[in-house]
Amino acid sequence: MLARLPLVVVSVAEEEVGSPESSPHLMRIARGAAAALVFESGRQRDAIVTRRRGTGTLTVSFTGRAAHAGNAHASGRNAVWAMARFIDAAQALTDYARGSSVNVGLASGGTSSNTVPAFAECKVDVRFERSDAATELLEALRLAAERAAESLGVELAIAGGANRLPLDRTPASEALFLEYGAHARAVGLGSEECPLVGGGSDANTVASVGVPAIDGLGPRGEGFHTTSEWVDLASLRPKAEALARFLWQRAAREG
């Protein structure tokens, strides 16, 4: 007779924005789990994800002094100019060799072309391969923002930070990858290991509390984050069968 296999199934609604509300809940229920299986979209050849970069977001705001661009230009403090200096310095912190990248994806400021802008704000996405690199990268961004603000005499505010540590390949997650891969092959799927993935997921979140995690186990698809994203419906059944075989074997082992 098979033993009962305790399972927790979680559907996360805000994963694409970093799971800000669900992460504490997810970490709480994950503690002590034997394994975590994450059903992000399947990769080409059904490759299983064992490594992901960490992620972070920053909101950097500059507050200067508004002034008429013609009559009182010299008395203004241009917040957009300070932001531009920061953006140039921030983008230069990207280091592909170390697996770190910085992307200023949103920027706004000013009220009109003939007014020295008193406020500007940008949103920064950071990615890193190692946890220690996160600390270094965030500190470098803070210093770059401070230098930009001081150079033009404007005020600075920074919010945010690292929201997902990297998903590392560990001996436990390697064993999980090999175990799940055997069941994938048994139903005609691929089972190779995926190269390092640049984006974070909830696999990063549960791995941060010591749970071995693998990812990319969902149905195949492509065009992620675009209007042409699609799913291969024919892959739904074998993907479900691989999961069922894995759970059946785990339950049999417990029995």
This prediction has a pTM of 0.79
- Who wins on pLDDT, 42 or 87? 87
Question: Are 155 and 188 part of one and the same domain?
Answer: no
pLDDT above 80 for 126: yes
Percent of the chain whose predicted confidence (pLDDT) is above 90: 82
Q: Mind spelling out the 3-state secondary structure of the chain? A: CCCCCCCCCCCCCCHHHCCCCCHHHHHHHHCCCCCEECCCCECHHHCEECCECEEEEEEEEEECECEECCCCHHHCECHHHHHHHHHHHHHCCCEHHHCEEEEEEEEEECCCCCEECCEEEEEEEEEECCHHHHHHHHHHHHHHHHHHHHHHCCEEEEEEEEEECCECCCHHHHHHHHHHHHHHHHCCCCCCECCCECCCCHHHHHHCCCCCEEECCCCEEECCCCCCCEECHHHHHHHHHHHHHHHHHHHHHHC
Last residue of a domain, one of 164, 184, 199: 164
Any domain includes 101 = yes
Any domain includes 75 = yes
pLDDT above 80 for 118: yes
43-71 per-position pLDDT tens digit: 889 999 999 999 999 999 999 999 999 99
Any domain includes 6 = no
Q: How many domains is the chain partitioned into structurally?
A: 2
184-227 per-position pLDDT tens digit: 999 999 999 999 998 889 999 999 999 999 999 999 988 887 89
Q: Which domain holds residue 44?
A: 15-52+167-254
Any domain includes 8 = no
Any domain includes 77 = yes
Q: What is the average pLDDT across 240-250?
A: 95
